[in-house]
Amino acid sequence: MTQWQKLKNLIFAVLEILFAALILVLRDKDFSHLNIPGAERLTQGVVSYYLIMTVFMIVMLINGIRFIVFYFTMARFMTGGRGMLYRGILYTDLALYTLSLNSVPVNYIMTYVTAILIISGAINLFQAFDILKLGGFWQFKLVQGIVTIGLAFYGFTHLHQPMVLSGICAIALIYDAIMQVIAVFTPTRIITIP
Amino acid sequence: MNSDFHYYATYCAAVLAGYSHEEAQEICYSAQLADHCTRTWLRKIDGPETAATTQLQSELISARTDLAGLQDITRIWSAFHFLPRDLYADITRGSRRFKNKYRLICGPNGDLLKKTVGIARKRNTLQAIGLAMHVLADTWAHTYFAGTPSLVINNTDYNFFELREENHTLKRIPIVFGHNPAAKEDPETGAYTGSIFQANENSIMNLGHGRAGHLPDYSFIRYAYAPSWDRYDEIIKDNPHDYLCAFAQMVYALRLLHEESDDFRTDTYAWDEIRPYERRIRKILAARRTDDSADWKELGEDLSSREIRPFSLELFEREYLSAGSDLAAMLASAPGKFFTAAIDQKAMLVKETERSGSLLAGRSQNSEEQNAAEKEEKR
């Protein structure tokens, strides 16, 4: 990792923590008494829920567009290049879907978040087994997988509560920020065989 | 290719081409040095950093992947380890960026190989000759990969098979690459290590043959796979055959350089010179192991009846450092001659890629000077 990449990762980690803090602050606020149209829906946790949706959508949309552009300029000429297009379409679609979910009950988006958490946790578990087979330090990935699936399970049992959704997202953001900081200060072992 | 071929096999080729033991030793030292001459090492001996012919993993990890960083990586890896076969390859599909990357795909008998041998001829030093032999040998081993980070060129997928001869039939044995840097490779069990898939086009994981692991570096293996750049068409890489061609071409090139002839032709091999040893060479190349050094060394010592010293970086270091700050002595030393040849080789690659309309390896100094002159004139 170059110094610039390290700095970028650190800035990103700080932004993640700030965003998580904002979610947690807004999480307890009730804006339903405000004299604005639709304010009656802005009960506890709903504003932070909208905030999460917006950021989700922007990040996914950017990623989706990047993959689609990459497909049309480069990847459509490569073996397996369609995977890049599917990635792009999936991300863009998920972004637009997330946008449409703004006016849909919380349980939809909670299902979506829990699904992502389950997939992510499952990947962690697979990685742990892979590392175990190859004789590396597998325990960390295993714990990571179990915690992520545990979070997903907790979210799944509280499908209708934006407060829980905000909490889970804030935890995930803080966790990711910590991992980014650790990655910055840990020497990377990767294989490059040119 | 590993030190077994770049060091010991190059020694054998040099002796077969008519060089003395001492000369052959100098040539193979330089051929092997191309895999050790990193910026880190050059800093240590206070050598010119522009002469770097390879990069350490730690250097690659911290390498920038912006335009300037990619050009730096491409200059090093394309010039010395993945010499492009055809910078003007006729390709109709893809954007200009794709075409430029496609044209960097390495392969034997390209025009740039002639220029590489030409540099060795022009410099006429054993070090330049050794470096040229490294480049020549790698064009055979690293065929189908490019010396620039590129997913669309260098990626491989699960369609990767070893073609193994069993009971007079070729069996297709699927290869699944592990990603543990500490894992040992074992040809018997098919345990090979490759770099991790990265969807980022310019990730250093997608540099050279990283995705295919060390397979191109093993002389015994034959494998079939669908390269990223060839739209699902499967290609077969026959390393025993390619390595034999590399050896025969090295002997041919070395013989010409020894005779101080300018008549290097691509696709020409010294089959007659190697015929008496062909069986033995084929046996070495076919042995299923990751290092053939012992057998090549034995062959080399049989050819010259002299003992081949093991490669040692310290010898170069001492010689270079003993020159002190005397520039003439530095340039006259073996490392100095190697650095000069390396800088020439890089300059040639940059000039040729730029001439082909691609800036993937950067701009040559001449064109920068020209641009500056043009700007000055306009002012």
pLDDT in tens, A103-144: 666 777 788 788 888 888 887 887 777 667 655 677 888 888
Q: How confident is the model over A169-180, as pLDDT tens digits?
A: 888 889 888 988
Confidence class of residue A192 from pLDDT cuts 50, 70 and 90? Answer: very low
More confident residue, B161 or A32: B161
Question: In this model, does residue A102 exceed pLDDT 70?
Answer: no
| Other beta carbons within 10 Å of B353 | 27
User: A-side interface with B, Cβ within 8 Å?
Assistant: 1-2, 4, 67, 70, 73-75, 77-81, 84, 87, 131, 134-136, 188-194
Mean per-residue pLDDT for A147-176?
87
Chain A, nearest residue to B203 by Cα:
A192
Q: How confident is the model over B10-57, as pLDDT tens digits?
A: 999 999 999 999 999 999 999 999 999 998 888 888 889 899 999 987
Mean per-residue pLDDT for B74-92?
95
Q: What is the ipTM of this complex?
A: 0.73
Give the pLDDT of residue A187.
63
Min Cα distance B19 → chain A (Å) is 31
**Which uninterrupted H or E stretch holds B164?**
strand B160-166
| Other beta carbons within 10 Å of B234 | 13
- Contacts of the segment A89-93: beta carbons below 8 A, 24+ positions apart: A89/A64, A90/A64, A91/A60, A91/A61, A91/A63, A91/A64, A91/A67, A92/A60, A92/A61, A92/A64, A92/A65, A92/A68, A93/A64
- From the list B82, B152, B180, the residue facing A134 with the nearest CB is B180
Among residues A116, A185, A126, the alpha carbon closest in space to that of A151 is found at: A116
| Range with lowest mean pLDDT among A59-73, A179-193, B302-316 | A179-193
Among residues B96, B69, B296, the alpha carbon closest in space to that of B204 is found at: B69
Instruction: Note whether A75 contacts B152, CB cutoff 8 Å.
Output: yes
Q: Give CA–CA dist A192/B40, Å, rounded.
A: 17
Q: Which residues of A touch B93 (CB under 8 A)?
A: 77
Strand partners, B225: B160, B235
Give the pLDDT of residue B102.
95
Question: In this model, does residue B126 exceed pLDDT 90?
Answer: yes
Question: In this model, does residue A17 exceed pLDDT 80?
Answer: yes
The two three-digit tokens of residue B357, written as one number: 């309309």
Give the pLDDT of residue A134.
54
What percent of chain B has a predicted confidence (pLDDT) above 90?
63
Q: How confident is the model over A3-16, as pLDDT tens digits?
A: 777 888 899 899 99
Min Cα distance A106 → chain B (Å) is 32
Q: Which residues of A touch B180 (CB under 8 A)?
A: 131, 134-136
Q: How confident is the model over B234-284, as pLDDT tens digits?
A: 999 999 999 999 999 999 999 999 999 988 999 999 999 999 999 999 999
Q: How confident is the model over A56-66, as pLDDT tens digits?
A: 788 889 989 99
Strand partners, B174: B161
Q: Give CA–CA dist B231/B152, Å, rounded.
A: 10
| Range with lowest mean pLDDT among B27-41, B118-132, B258-272, B364-378 | B364-378
| Other beta carbons within 10 Å of B215 | 24
Average pLDDT for chain B: 90
Backbone angles phi, psi at B161, to 5 degrees: -130, 145
Q: Where are the alpha helices (DSSP H) in chain B?
A: 3, 10-16, 21-33, 39-45, 57-61, 67-80, 96-102, 111-123, 126-141, 151-154, 239-258, 271-274, 278-286, 293-304, 313-322, 327-332, 334-355, 365-378
Q: Which residues of B touch A131 (CB under 8 A)?
A: 180
Among residues A63, A59, A153, A73, the alpha carbon closest in space to that of A113 is found at: A153
Q: Give CA–CA dist A107/A113, Å, rounded.
A: 10
| Range with lowest mean pLDDT among A129-143, B124-138, B157-171 | A129-143
